[in-house]
Amino acid sequence: MDLTLNAQQQAFRDEVRAFLDEALTPAMRRGATLTSGVFAEPDVAQPWQATLEARGWLIYFWPEAHGGPGWSAVERWIFETECAKAGAPVLPGMGLKLVGPVIYTYGTPEQKARFLPALRQGEHVWAQGFSEPGSGSDLASLRTRAVRDGDEYVVNGQKIWTTQAQFANWLFALVRTDPEVKPQRGISFLLIDMTTPGVTVRPIPSASGDHELNEVFLEDVRVPVANRVGDEGEGWSIAKFLLENERGGTGYAPQLLADLDRLVRAADPTGALADRAVRLRLEAEALEMTELRTLIEIEAGDPPAPRSLANKLIASEIRQGIEGLAIDAFGPAGLQLREDRPYHHGDGGYEGTPEAGLAAARYLNARAWSIFGGTSEIQLNIIARAALGL
């Protein structure tokens, strides 16, 4: 694959760099640098989202027909790479990358008009209600029930590992509307206003000290039938679309490479540690080539090739490798674990560089990479079946 940028692509890269230099405020850069979790906190993410929306670049991965800028796969890759290098905040993807494409693909005209502008403007903040106690890897076994009562569903159940639900005012959820049919055929996709009576959010503190995850309890929550996306019983197909879109449209490598570069500059590893850094870079660059090939396939109208199934698995291993390297490279300074969160609200309070001060929290937080979005064991099973025919 020839990755030499032509003159037009180089001009686009320069435009992106100039925009980032001007648009990323010191507060945004500091907030991104001092983020120990996966996504930036709302007081950092929301101003950055508004800035991107004003520039017309927020939904750069959406088709032009639905408001995207019409970028090519290479232009999207350039943008993600430059944002990562510049240290831009990582925006939560539950709305922009997950439910947004579901709504513009499966939603009614009324749903598109109601939800998509509010999503882009930050008025609606989304959480994902898929996993349940006992129904994570085996999602089709979910038990949250939605019983129709006239023009509403009455929803009862529990969702778990719900990322940033403490900030969200909307939940997209899989619910069981027909318990008598094959499990996959009895599931529907609902959009639930989290201010509705009966919705309770309880935090799940992480070992890292971060509050990213939550339990969501739904007790006699009344949801308008108008908030169902697709037909009743179509939820499983919509969920597969969502997960495939996430798998094919997510680029992990730019952020991994940028974080590795920042770590090497801050810790200056030598000897065996430097060798580990080189191996991690080679693995991340190989992942980057695979991701770019997948983007080009999607742009050509083809489904993602089976090789793309391994992207998340490999990215998880690289992420954990980077954070493990940080712990070893920083030594005792990398073992600090402050309790107060978020870090950017404080005045520092750590020894050495910010990278050293956050190393322990990031290491512990990264253990979840091989769990969320499908555990590594489940990913291996999927690869064995879909890619290898085993």
Q: Which domains does the chain have, with CATH numbers?
A: 7-91 (no CATH), 123-233 (2.40.110.10), 251-387 (1.20.140.10)
- Consecutive H or E run containing 237: helix 235-249
**Is residue 336 scored above 50 in pLDDT?**
yes
What is the rounded radius of gyration, in angstroms, for the C-alpha atoms of the chain?
Answer: 21
- How far is residue 67 from each of residues 59, 116, 150, 344, 355, measured CA to CA in Å? 7, 10, 35, 33, 37
Cα–Cα nearest to 314, from 248, 373, 376 = 376
For residue 379, what pLDDT band results from cuts at 50, 70 and 90?
confident
Percentage of residues in the chain with pLDDT exceeding 90? Answer: 77
Nearest to 257 by CA among 293, 221, 281, 287: 281
Residues catalogued as catalytic? 246
Q: Is 80 exposed, middle or buried (0-12, 13-18, 19+ CB in 10 A)?
A: buried
Q: How confident is the model over 252-264, as pLDDT tens digits?
A: 999 999 999 999 9
Residues in the chain: 390
User: Within 13 Å and on the Cβ side, how many CA atoms surround 120?
Assistant: 22
Query: What pTM value is reported for the model?
Result: 0.91
Q: What is the pLDDT of residues 80-113, one digit of tens each?
A: 999 999 999 999 999 999 999 999 999 999 999 9
- pLDDT averaged over the chain? 92
- What single letter denotes the amino acid at residue 288? E
> Is the Cβ–Cβ distance between 133 and 160 less than 8 Å?
yes
Q: What is the pLDDT of residue 308?
A: 75
One-letter amino acid at 329 equals A
Q: Please report the pLDDT score of residue 277 as a whole number.
A: 98
CA atoms of 385 and 323, how far apart (whole Å)? 31
Q: What are phi and psi of 286, to 5 degrees?
A: -65, -40
User: How far apart (Å, rounded) are the C-alpha atoms in residues 206 and 280?
Assistant: 26
DSSP state of 215: E
pLDDT top residue among 358 and 372? 358
Instruction: Flag whether pLDDT at 248 surpasses 60.
Output: no
Residue 132 carries which DSSP code?
Answer: B
Predicted confidence (pLDDT) at residue 56 exceeds the cutoff of 90: yes
Question: What tokens does 355 get?
Answer: 């990278």
Report the amino acid identity of residue 26.
P
Tell me if residue 167 falls in helix, strand or coil: coil
Question: In sequence order, what E strands does 91-212 have?
Answer: 126-129, 145-149, 152-159, 170-176, 187-193, 199-204
Which range among 51-55, 69-73, 151-155, 309-313 shows the weakest confidence by mean pLDDT? 309-313
Question: First vs last Cα of the chain: how many Å apart?
Answer: 30
Long-range Cβ contacts of 54-63 (<8 Å, 24+ apart): 55/19, 55/23, 57/19, 58/96, 58/120, 59/96, 59/100, 59/120, 61/97, 61/249, 62/100, 62/101, 62/104, 63/104
Residue 168 has pLDDT above 90, yes or no: yes
Span 55-78, mean pLDDT?
93
- Which DSSP string corresponds to 248-271? HH---HHHHHHHHHHHHHHH---H
For residue 48, pLDDT over 60 is answered with yes
Q: Which helix (H) or strand (E) holds 222?
A: strand 213-224
Q: Which two tokens stand for residue 248?
A: 């094919």
DSSP SS3 for 155: strand
Beta bridge partners of 191: 172
Q: How much of the chain exceeds pLDDT 70, in percent?
A: 97
- Distance between CA 82 and CA 150 in Å, rounded? 51
